[in-house]
Structure 1
Amino acid sequence: QKHERDRIGRFRACFDTSTPPSTRPRENSCTPSTQLQESKATMPTALPGVLARSTIVLFGDSLTQRGFEPEGWAAALAHYYGRRADVYNRGYGGYNTRWARELAPALFARPPQGQAHLLATVWFGANDACISTERAHVPLLEFEANLETIVQQARQVARVVVVMTPPPVHGPSRLAYQKRKYGARATGVEERSTEVAGRYGDVAARVAGRHGCALLDVHQLMLREADWPRYVGAGTEDGDGLHLSGAGQRFVAEKLLALLPTLGLDRDALAYDAPWGFEVDANEPAASLRAHFARHRGALQANSGVLGVDRGESRPLPGA
Structure 2
Amino acid sequence: MRPRIYLFGDSITESSFTPGGWGASLAHHFCRTADVVLRGYSGYNTRWALLVADKVFPPAEGDSHGGGAPLAVTVFFGANDACLPDRCSGFQHVPLEEYKQNLHSIVSFLKKRWPKTTIILITPPPIDEEARLQFPYVENPSGLPERTNEAASAYAKACIAAAEESGCLVVDLWTKMQEFPNWKSACLSDGLHLAETGNKIVFEEVVKKLKEQGLSLETLPVDLPLIGNIDPENPLKAFEN
TM-score by length of 2: 0.89
Q: Which residue of 1 aligns with 2:5?
A: 56
Displacement after TM superposition at 1:114 (Å): 9.0
The alpha-carbon deviation at position 186 of structure 1 amounts to 5.0
Matches within 5 A, 1:280-299: 280-290=230-240, 293=241
Task: Report the CA distance between 1:189 and its aligned residue.
Answer: 0.8
> Any idea what SS the aligned residue of 1:149 has?
helix
Q: How does 1:145-156 map to 2 (within 5 A)?
A: 145-156=101-112
Q: Counterpart in 1 of 2:212?
A: 262
After superposition, the C-alpha distances for 1:234-267 in whole angstroms (9 at most, x for unaligned) are xxxxx31000011211121122222321221122
Instruction: Tell me how far 1:231 sits from its aligned partner.
Output: 4.1
Aligned twin of 2:182: 227
RMSD: 2.0
Please give the alpha-carbon distance, in whole angstroms, between the structure 1 residues aligned to 2:237 and 2:216. 30
Q: Does 1:169 align with 2:127?
A: yes
Alpha-carbon distance between aligned partners in 2 of 1:277 and 1:224, rounded to the nearest angstrom: 42
Is residue 2:56 matched to residue 1:98?
no
Hey, what's the Cα distance between the residues in 2 that align with 1:92 and 1:57?
13
- Partner residue in 1 for 2:152: 197
Other-structure match for 2:173: 218
Residue aligning to 1:279: 229
Q: Is contact 1:65–1:91 with CA below 8 Å preserved after alignment? A: yes
* Secondary structure at 1:274 match in 2: coil
2:12/2:194 contact within 8 Å kept: yes
- The alpha carbon displacement at 1:176 in A equals 1.5
Task: Give 1:121's aligned residue.
Answer: 74
Q: Which moved more, 1:162-171 or 1:269-278?
A: 269-278
Equivalent residue of 1:148, what SS?
helix
The 2-side partners of 1:56 and 1:114 are apart by 11
SS in 1 for 2:5: strand
Contact 1:232–1:242 (8 Å) recurs in 2? no
Q: Who is 1:136 aligned against? A: 92
The Cα of 1:188 is off from its aligned counterpart by 1.3
Q: Secondary structure at the match of 1:267?
A: coil
Does the CA contact (< 8 Å) of 1:231 and 1:251 recur in 2?
Answer: no
Instruction: Give the superposition deviation at 1:72.
Output: 0.7
Letter in 2 for 1:227: N
Separation in structure 1 between the aligned mates of residue 162 and residue 100 of structure 2, nearest angstrom: 7
Bigger radius of gyration, 1 or 2? 1
User: Unpaired runs of 5+ in structure 1?
Assistant: 1-51, 234-238, 294-320
Partner of 1:26: none
Q: CA deviation at 1:115?
A: 2.8
Name the aligned partner's letter for residue 147 of structure 2. R
Query: What is the match of residue 199 of structure 2?
Result: 249
Query: Alignment identity in percent?
Result: 38
CA–CA distance in structure 2, aligned partners of residues 144 and 270 of structure 1 = 33
Structure 2 CA distance for aligned equivalents of residues 266 and 81 of structure 1? 8
Taking the aligned partners of 2:185 and 2:111, their CA distance within structure 1 comes to 34
Could you tell me how far apart the structure 2 residues matched to 1:136 and 1:230 are? 25
| Structure-2 change in CA distance of 1:257 and 1:59 (3 Å) | same
Q: Does 1:74 align with 2:23?
A: yes
Q: 3-state DSSP class of the match of 1:210?
A: helix
What is the TM-score normalised by the length of structure 1? 0.68
How many residue pairs get matched? 232
Q: Unpaired segments of 5 or more residues in structure 2? A: none
Number of the residue aligned with 1:46: none
Q: Tell me, what secondary structure is at the counterpart of 1:271?
A: coil
CA distance in 2, matches of 1:91, 1:173: 23
SS in 1 for 2:135: helix
